[in-house]
Structure 1
Amino acid sequence: MTVDTLPGLPSAVTICEVGPRDGLQNESAVVPAAVKAEFVERLADAGHTVIETTSMVHPKWVPQLADAEEVLRLVERRPGVRYPVLVPNARGLARALDLGATDIAVFAAATESFAKANLNRTVSESLEMFAPVVARAREAGLGVRGYLSMCWGDPWAGTVPLPQVTAVATRLFALGCTELSLGDTIGVATPGRVVALLDALVAAGIPLARIAVHFHDTYGQGLANTLAALHHGVTTVDASAGGLGGCPYAKSATGNLATEDLLWQLNGLGIHTGVDLAKLAETSVWLAGHLGRPSPSRALRALSGAG
């Protein structure tokens, strides 16, 4: 690949690989725990240093991840690799701690409609629920990633006003989160709106170094939005191997930004990630075989000759 850099971009980017949790939770078929564990280990082999591994959400709500404890026991955790686990409440945190988790994530919403659909609570009630969870996790020395969904659009409420997102984001961050991941859950953001929100959050006191972006590719804007965020100083990007995922509570949400598509762009810009694109592509093709369908990642299809 020919490398041509652009001014104003970071020299290195951390990819938070969300395929094992955010990706697989939206699959209709339940993937065996042994396959999930191998998926995580293959991602580590490819060079990923942050791999969101599973979720402690009740199996009634996300049956695809009902085997979370088994998966965590099967995964051979490596030095230098972080394996965040999504926890919904204090009970989920206790389970994660018992299994040796060193990083967790909590999942909040910027809109009342999605907080109700996803958490069956108001935004304020959900933040009150997360407060002791984050505090306990930080006391135990865990990293805490705070997801904020519906940052740019909501399937029920439409466009989400920037002041509303900023207000919820600052409250979530103030709980003690070590990182805040901004989610474009239904994929409606465009680069200008991405930059506007980043400016608003920085003005509200949230450092860019603590902000990650999580784009969906519903309208084909994932890479454009990522590039805008990188130009603005963001250095952590969420992506999903093979473009797996969506959102079980927002039916208009299609897959996450594919890690292969992201890597093709970052490699071409000379931005270091530590992830081997060829090894990752092999992993995504392998997983697609277990899922019984091809990956939606365009870069992966080109690399594998699948079309």
Structure 2
Amino acid sequence: MSDPVDNAAKVPPEAIKAIPVRHYGRWVSAVLVLALLALLGVALSGAQIQWSTVPDYLDYETVLRGAGNTLLITVLGMLVGVVLGTLLAVMRLSKNPVVSSVAWGYVWFFRGTPVLVQLMLWYNLALIFPLLDLGFYKDEMNDVMTPFLASLLGLGLNEAAYMAEISRAGIQSVDEGQTEAAHALGMTGGRTMRRIVLPQAMRVIVPPTGNEFINMLKTSSLCFAIQFDELMKAVTDISSRNLAVMELLMVATIWYLVLTTVFSVGQFYVERYFQRGSARALPDTPLQKARRNLMTFSHGTGSGAKP
């Protein structure tokens, strides 16, 4: 007579059926979001806006020139902010109390006052200094402090205060043992900063720097208050003539979205570049994410379940 235990051991186990978990909350939230977007679309379609006017001004010469000036002042202002901010960060970390105090005072002043106030101060500098006299150069302040220069100084010097704190956080994120090892090998402080500390600090500095660039791109719209011919001033001047205020604001909105989107994609690839060697796997590109989400959606909606 056979042993029941042996017979049970000979019977193959039943195949396991994998039953996918139902995520009803995801479907409900998706329906709600789509419903809200539909309501927004209906509201905009019924608004008293001449939508046919918007495409006519997207490539208008004045608008294109304003968008170009916005991009120019943003790039130059960010360049000033990054270079000066890095210098201020090194000064903040200096053991010299005078140098560190001056850097702290700079950050305290420019972070503590609004950008618009700083722009107005630079633009109206001729009220207190009518003549610029540097000894080797002498000219009327009104001729020197143009709207472009006032915008560059206002945006760049303000950004330097924020970049100083971002750079300081990045520098302090590098282990001090690496600096000590570099000094033990005979490297000077400046060379250690350039060759050892800053390259590693870039992993921490780059993400918020990209955000600051995009933020400055939008902040540059304040320059219309000092008559700089950027995008906001361009659409404001046009709308003051044809009274299509909302239509021209939509034009500005589209251009700002285009510019910020382009630089957001660029920021992603720069961050991805500096993550090499620090992450086990690099983050997916936008195309890879879209492909993965489509595959996940198709698998989730497919009929039947694999055993």
TM interval, short-chain normalised: under 0.3
- Structure with the higher fraction of residues in helix conformation: 2
- Structure with the higher fraction of residues in strand conformation: 1
TM-score by length of structure 2 reads 0.21
With a CA cutoff of 8 Å and minimum separation of 6, indicate the structure with the bigger relative contact order: 2
TM-score by length of structure 1 reads 0.21
Structure of greater Rg: 2
